[in-house]
Amino acid sequence: MVDVEVVGAGPNGLAAAVVMARAGLSVRIHEAAPTIGGGSRSIELMEQDHLHDFCSAVHPMALASPFFRAFELSRRIGFVVPEVSFAHPLDGGRAGIAYRSLDETVRGLGVDGEAYRRLLQPLSDREQGILAFTLNHVVRVPKKPEAAVRFGLAVLDQGLPWWNRRFSTEEAKGLVTGVMAHPVGTLPSLTGAGAGLVLNLLAHTVGWPIPVGGSQSIADALAIDVRQHGGQIVTDSRIETLAEVSDARVVLLDVAPKTFQSMSRGRLPAAYEKALAAFTYGNAACKVDFILSGPVPWTHPELHRAGTAHLGGTREEIAAGEKQVNQGVHPDSPYVLLSQPSSFDPTRAPEGRHTLWTYCHVPRGSTQDMAEAVTAQIERFAPGFRDVVVRSHTTTASELEVYNANYVGGDFSSGAVNLRQIVARPVPSLEPWATPIKGVYLCSQSTPPGPGVHGMAGLNAAKLALRREFGLSVPALGLS
């Protein structure tokens, strides 16, 4: 018998376990897969010594989130922070480039440079206040209201139909649009603008770091800390019902609401069941991984310095493609999110080889292989790309759900990112991590603050459980 059972060894489940174990409680984690990591797992997908991040790849939140800062993750594992955080290629060899340096970005955007500065500088200057607001439950009084107001004004500027008023060039419009398209959904939108602007401001503060050795190193660092504080991690351990973990005083579930309902077996009150039933899942991703015989032959030279690229052309083209996905159509010219980690981390592939990480947005539940559409989109901005492709591997949206049950229908956000579910994630509540079942808490990205490798949902759930069930506060998390 242990004090705390954790179901799911993704970043949030592991973060929750770290907090509980450091509080002096006995902790056991159950992971259904053979290895830990969930959304931060790295594997040899096609060939030996070629390491691929299966889900998340680039991690600004690993350096920015309050949990990982307290945990001192950057002292536990290595990160490479590219000088070009992200780039947005356009036809004709043009591109918008988001340098780590805001000043350099402004210079590169020409006539739109100062308009970009006026949008991003107030946000970058208030990074901590904005993160304190956005990486928590928004149904609360912000600790720094002025930062929240500034952020809200920027969201209104880029999240509503007048989003073109600020910029005149395709480079500036595309640069901002590419990062706002990370959440699957129509554009412009307030939620897309909110998520994108947080990531955009971090591009000019902590940067967009790539973990040395793959995203798996993040999960491994958390697991090491759990074990150092007496916790157990059991893999190949699928928990089907709450009855299997009922001896613990606290159960923390890093699972989607759909799985929680199944595990509860009729124990949930009707009103709560109804609220969970109203929780919706969004559209999805089709993942395409590549092994290359050389670097991507980008037309624009600065793309070689970028850890991340957003492909899809102009603002209008990307918005049209996202609209098609929302209508249940597979776009011929999809928005493609691309990372080239082996350009910065030589542990990812043997000398002379590269691994390339990409995905595009598709309708929920899709079984369609989008490798050709993704390849064509890369070739559009990097002629000759097909010539350096050695092998590719596709994971369709439906296969993503097989890989991780939290990705319902291939929705890697574990729930649609929309205005309703900013407030009700997964149900309307001031403390949405708590469930009606005594001692049972949700800690997945289906709870605030939502998707991303930030550990904050795990921290929030563990903090609440410590206070309610044990009368304890969050312990120190750092190395020192």
Please tell me the pTM assigned to this model. Answer: 0.97
* C-alpha distances in Å from residue 119, one per residue of 27, 167, 321: 45, 10, 25
Reported confidence tier of residue 140, pLDDT bands at 50, 70, 90? confident
Nearest to 471 by CA among 15, 1, 25: 25
471 phi, psi to nearest 5 deg: 65, 30
* 193-220 CB burial, b ≥16 within 10 A, e <16: bbbbbbbbbbbbbbbbbbbbbbbbbbbb
For residue range 166-220, what is the model confidence (pLDDT) as tens digits? 999 999 999 999 999 999 999 999 999 999 999 999 999 999 999 999 999 999 9
User: Which position has the token pair 């002379």?
Assistant: 352
CB 272 within 8 A of CB 296: no
How far apart are alpha carbons 111 and 14 in whole angstroms? Answer: 46
For residue range 231-286, what is the model confidence (pLDDT) as tens digits? 999 999 999 999 999 999 999 999 999 999 999 998 999 999 999 999 999 999 99
Does the pLDDT at position 145 exceed 80?
A: yes
Does the CA dihedral 182-159-322-282 come out positive or negative?
positive
Nearest to 73 by CA among 453, 469, 389: 453
Q: What percent of the chain has pLDDT over 90?
A: 96
Reported confidence tier of residue 133, pLDDT bands at 50, 70, 90? very high
Compute the average pLDDT of residues 80-94.
98
Nearest to 284 by CA among 452, 419, 416, 451: 416
Cis peptide bond prior to 449, omega within 30° of 0: yes
Nearby residues of 67 by Cβ (< 8 Å), 6 or more positions away: 15, 454, 455, 456, 458, 459, 477
Per-residue pLDDT, 450: 95
Reported confidence tier of residue 142, pLDDT bands at 50, 70, 90? confident
How far apart are alpha carbons 222 and 237 in whole angstroms? Answer: 19
Reported confidence tier of residue 373, pLDDT bands at 50, 70, 90? very high
CB 213 within 8 A of CB 4: no
For residue range 305-361, what is the model confidence (pLDDT) as tens digits? 999 999 999 999 999 999 999 999 999 899 999 999 999 999 999 999 999 999 999
Cis peptide bond prior to 188, omega within 30° of 0: yes
User: Which position has the token pair 């004090």?
Assistant: 3
Taking only Cα atoms into account, the Rg of the chain, rounded to an integer number of angstroms, comes to: 21
374 phi, psi to nearest 5 deg: -65, -45
Q: What percent of the chain has pLDDT over 70?
A: 100
Compute the average pLDDT of residues 373-379.
98
- Across the strands, what pairs with 339? 308, 357
Does the pLDDT at position 296 exceed 90?
A: yes
